Structure 1
């Protein structure tokens, strides 16, 4: 099985980074390394990561500093270039990986030597009806998140790239100084430029926050415009379906529901990021009591 590095760009993520690291390290198959790349945070992000390292010395968590440039793309690139795994996973600092994520990702690239990029569906851990939400997200990504005659586009909150493929495109990916593009789609299109295969797996599941839906419509609209801007920067590529049309239709309902559900979570004193995979984590721990030789995978 190929080993998997996890890269987490972070800027002022003190609220969720500890939960993110806990989910990234408590896996059925241990990650090769979990690299947090701090980008000029002014909050307690670094302190929390360092405390996690002290409290969990067995976890392969690495903290790097990228202070030369402000922004996701240079921070992402810094982490991907520093990683030493066979496969490079990329998530956000508020993402909560399903406990078998590393195992699934390793399996995808081990079983398919032609696969150079992989992605999967997401579940919104801070929204109700998570099962229905996951099914809906899976449907949208399988049927609309495509380019160039049904080639899979990677989603930045839940994606992995074979290390050799990243090194082939790392000098070509757009720097986007105006910050108007979807950096994950840009990476996808550069992979397709090389004829690299990208794949979608329904089993590669990540929990993410729906906080994007809590922004104003003007802000949401600017974010949706990134789809158009990214393809405009890559005129050799095309798409039949416009994912943003589905998201525009969902926005009013999710924008209304999100703050209401946050009030419910606060009233019940529920940390949704901690709770999303709790039952599966408990089952995982119990299984390792029954199989002590596997305990290193979750320590």
Structure 2
């Protein structure tokens, strides 16, 4: 039986998280629980989550640790360790989900496969209006959409564009799904990767090294990313090298991951 836990990664952007949670609340098929992996946000985020907890249709769990720099891997591992579901759907807190998002991901679940979705983007200049109106309904014709092709939902044709490949490229944690047992097999995210960059590709590389396939999907599991400025990428080259090392040495599990928390 498929039991889905939705993991939402966030850090100090309550305006975006508000829209994300509204879109989760609006899902046609709800996950069994929602766990917010909070990398050290301040009081505004905590108060927002407490407000939603009073009205949310499923358990809404807030996992927080102290702000000590970009420690998303540790934050995600801590949240997923608490997850009760056997299937994990993972997003970032700066996306608005199509109302069929969870339904679509559940339809894509398959043994020995992890799912990589895509995302459309909403331009920054649209954000003040979206904040004030709390608009969460978008499609490929909506004003201010970038990458419109990724905003098209055609579930009856989606299978024609599915690709199962042994490849960890272009995997992003903002639209990712996998079995929790597979996540535990590879020891989850690498806690040594601190700062922005490639933690999701490194995770995917270990999935691949364990014989799991990446299912790249189009026309399903649609989400809309709220555009923003770039985070510091100081550690990106080092992380990229870790990904290459994982692939070359066919590393199947990281030494410092979910089991070490």
- The TM-score with structure 2 as length reference comes to 0.72
User: Is 1:160–2:184 an aligned residue pair?
Assistant: no
Q: Quick check: 1:120–1:201 contact (8 Å CA) kept in 2?
A: yes
Runs of 5+ in structure 2 lacking a partner? Answer: 125-142, 153-162, 251-261
Aligned to 1:265: none
Among candidates 177, 182, 185, match of residue 198 of structure 2: 182
Q: Does 1:126 align with 2:123?
A: yes
Pairwise CA distance, 1:235: 4.5
Alignment match, 1:262? none
Rounded Cα–Cα distance in structure 2 between residues aligned with 1:136 and 1:237: 34
**How many residues align structurally?**
220
Q: Report deviation, 1:2.
A: 1.8
**1:102 maps to what in 2?**
102
Aligned with 1:236 (options 248, 251, 256): 248
Shift of residue 190, structure 1, vs aligned partner:
1.0
Partner of 2:80: 80
| Inter-partner Cα distance in structure 1 for 2:9 and 2:183 | 16
Which protein has the bigger helix share? 1
CA contact (8 A) 1:5 1:86 kept: yes
Any conservation in 1 of the 2:150–2:222 contact (CA below 8 Å)? no
Q: Secondary structure at the match of 1:103?
A: helix
Separation (CA, whole Å) in 1 of partners of 2:96 and 2:3: 19
Q: Deviations over 1:20-74 (max 9, x none)?
A: 11112211111111111333222400100001112x1433312223349651110
Q: Superposition RMSD on alpha carbons, in Å?
A: 3.2
Query: Is 1:193 aligned to 2:209, yes or no?
Result: yes
Q: Secondary structure at the match of 1:80?
A: helix
Indicate if the aligned counterparts of 1:231 and 1:237 stay in contact, CA closer than 8 A: no
Q: Using a 3 Å threshold, how does the CA distance of structure 1 residues 234 and 223 change in structure 2: closer, same or farther?
A: same
Q: Which has the larger radius of gyration?
A: 1
